[in-house]
A and B are shown apart, each in its own frame.
Chain A
Amino acid sequence: MFLSVLQLRYPDNIVILRHNHISTMHSKVLLTAKDVDIILHRLACQLVEKHLDFSQTVLIGLQPRGRFLAERIAQILEKEYQISHIELGFLDITFFRDDFRRTEKPLEANKTHINFLVEDKKVIFIDDVLYTGRSIRSALTAIQSFGRPADIELLVLIDRRFSRHLPIQPDYRGRQVDAIANEKVKVQWKDIDADTDQVLLVDDNPT
């Protein structure tokens, strides 16, 4: 194969990938199940360090894909840190997006499930991939429907560097990834869309 992938690991968890443009391979594993597991535990640990018993903190998974990550983080917090009563909600941002009528495809909504008020709470947004930052902007508006949070933080599994359209950065990041525009970072979860947890880099328009 003519695949030449230069993969450099920096100490601060940055992965740089360079694809040969005549690559015939369509996807590459960025993180294996083991990597994902280690990262999830580190993220949970970082959350505990800052939020202690979570009495004033709520976790909000951003629909559709942030939900799975939020559920996993909550699971770890409950099982390994014995934090009970974690308030976990799922926020759908479809009706708050800024590209309504600007995309070919109509925007399809998902369920919002937040059965608590976020008034004066510390809110942690959880999403799988941070890319342009536009979803987060929408989420910042959407969450206001449920009250005025004390503060809002952002946790992402994958942070795509240099691709932001807005001045938004995560507070907790799993892994930083450099990927070019026509590449997609796909996070797959065991029992939901794959046999195992993994993060893939997929070439959208293979040549």
Chain B
Amino acid sequence: MKTLSVNHLLGIKYITRDDIELIFETAEHFKEVINRPIKKVPSLRDITIANIFFENSTRTKLSFELAEKRLSADTISFSAAQSSVKKGETLIDTVNNILSMKVDMVVMRHSNPGAAYFLSQNVNARIINAGDGAHEHPTQALLDSFTIREKLGEIGGKKIVIVGDILHSRVALSNIFALQKQGAEVRVCGPKTLIPKHIESLGVKYEPNLRKALEWCDVANMLRIQNERLDVNYFPSTREYTQQYGLDKDLLDSLNKEIIVMHPGPINRGVEITSDVADSKQSVILEQVENGVAVRMAVIYLLASKIQ
């Protein structure tokens, strides 16, 4: 019988290709479950999960909560804005207080890279990283890969380009790890200022020209410009960014093949992709969201099965 090699999901970097495969196999079963008339299974009825979001989130938080509820886990959720964090409580204290209410698993988003790892070393619960600063967002990368796999059959040998703000993107890093572990080739594209300096050391090529990048790839993952993280001006104006790196229907149709367009959300319509691209049949944005619930159910189920 197969089981995950890790006790926490802190990042794609720490898991193996077999783990990814196991998560996908399990997620396929859960995808069937969430398409039933009654979308719920009782597996985790004796497990309690805390969703702790120190950073804003709509999709990820809803997706995790739904995944937990579909597994029949008890859930508690809080956002930093309403919590004692504002009163000066430390992260470990906050989480330990929650754990003393008998919580088995913690899903956490935090603005500091490594926050999930830090927590896993200091508290007694299973940790799932729902995004830690510009570091990793493992479940997003897993659901992206799951969606590509569903569309193209397999990931090995496929070409994926990640476009946009690579520098501040945890989605980009997790995706690079996940896709490479599954044997795909990854390139990044975007303004030089938004590309990390040593990106080549990850085995990722930089392609400055969007058209060339799109002509090379099978899948384009268009990232959002994270205005909240842009502390200085990385490009002259949003308009200029859109002209250079925005994907519109004319560009998409002028390519010599049909590529798949992905976006981790939230979309800034008219900036990184136009509305007609986001809503076109080549876009799998809403499939990504649906798969997100199934993949998160799989991750939670597999980690919960290791709780003694």
Interface of B is mostly: loop
Closest to A110 in B: B29
Contacts across chains A and B counted by CB atoms under 8 Å: 55
- Which among A1-9, A68-76, A92-100, A174-182 touches the partner chain? A92-100
**Residues A106 and B43 in contact, CB atoms below 8 Å apart:** no
Q: Which of A103-152 contact B (CB under 8 A)?
A: 105-112, 117, 141-142, 144-147
Q: Interface 1/0s, chain B 13-40, versus A by CB < 8 A?
A: 0000000000000100100110011111
Residues of A within 8 A of B32 (CB): 111-112
In the complex, the chain B residue whose C-beta lies closest to that of A105 is B1
A101 within 8 A of B: yes
Residues B42 and A96 in contact, CB atoms below 8 Å apart? yes
CB distance from A44 to the nearest CB of B (A): 29
Chain B: minimal CB distance from A108 (Å): 6
> Is the Cβ of A101 less than 8 Å from the Cβ of B40?
no
With A and B bound together, what is the CA distance between A110 and B1 in angstroms? 13
B2, A95: Cβ atoms closer than 8 Å: no
The smallest C-beta distance from B69 to any residue of chain A, in angstroms, reads 14
| The one of A106, A141, A142 that contacts B2, using a Cβ cutoff of 8 Å | A106
Q: Which chain A residues border B90 with CB–CB below 8 Å? A: none
The complex places the Cα of A107 from the Cα of B44 at a distance, in Å, of 13
Q: Mark B264-308, 1 if CB is under 8 A from A, else 0.
A: 000000000000000000000000000000000000011011111
Asked if residues A95 and B33 are in contact (CB atoms below 8 Å), the reply is: yes
Q: Bound complex: CA of A170 vs CA of B41, how far in Å?
A: 25
- Residue tally, chain B, CB below 8 Å to A: 25
- Pair B42/A141 contact, Cβ less than 8 Å: yes
From B29, B36, B43, B304, A111 is in contact (CB under 8 Å) with B29
Q: Complex formed: what's the CA distance from A110 to B29 in Å?
A: 7
List, in ascending order, chain B residues with CB within 8 A of A92's CB: 29
B3 within 8 A of A: yes
Q: Are B42 and A95 in contact (CB under 8 A)?
A: yes
Within 8 A of A (CB), among B174-230: none
CB atoms of A100 and B305 under 8 A apart: yes
* CA A146 to CA B36, docked complex, whole Å: 7
Q: From residue A145, how far is it (CB to closest CB) to chain B in Å?
A: 4
**Complexed CA–CA distance, A114 and B276 (Å):** 36
Given contact pairs A101-B305, A108-B1, A108-B2, A145 touches B37 in the complex (Cβ within 8 A) = yes
How many Å lie between the Cα of A146 and that of B42 in the bound state?
Answer: 15
B interface residue numbers (CB < 8 A to A): 1-3, 26, 29, 32-33, 36-44, 46, 71, 301-302, 304-308
Would you list 13 pairs from A and B whose C-beta atoms are within 8 A, ordered by A residue? A92-B29, A94-B29, A95-B42, A95-B71, A101-B46, A101-B304, A101-B307, A101-B308, A106-B2, A108-B2, A112-B33, A145-B37, A145-B39
Q: A100-B43, A108-B1, A145-B37 are in contact. List 5 more A-B contacts (CB 8 A).
A: A95-B33, A95-B41, A96-B43, A112-B29, A145-B41
| Residues of A bordering B, CB below 8 Å | 92, 94-97, 100-101, 105-112, 117, 141-142, 144-147
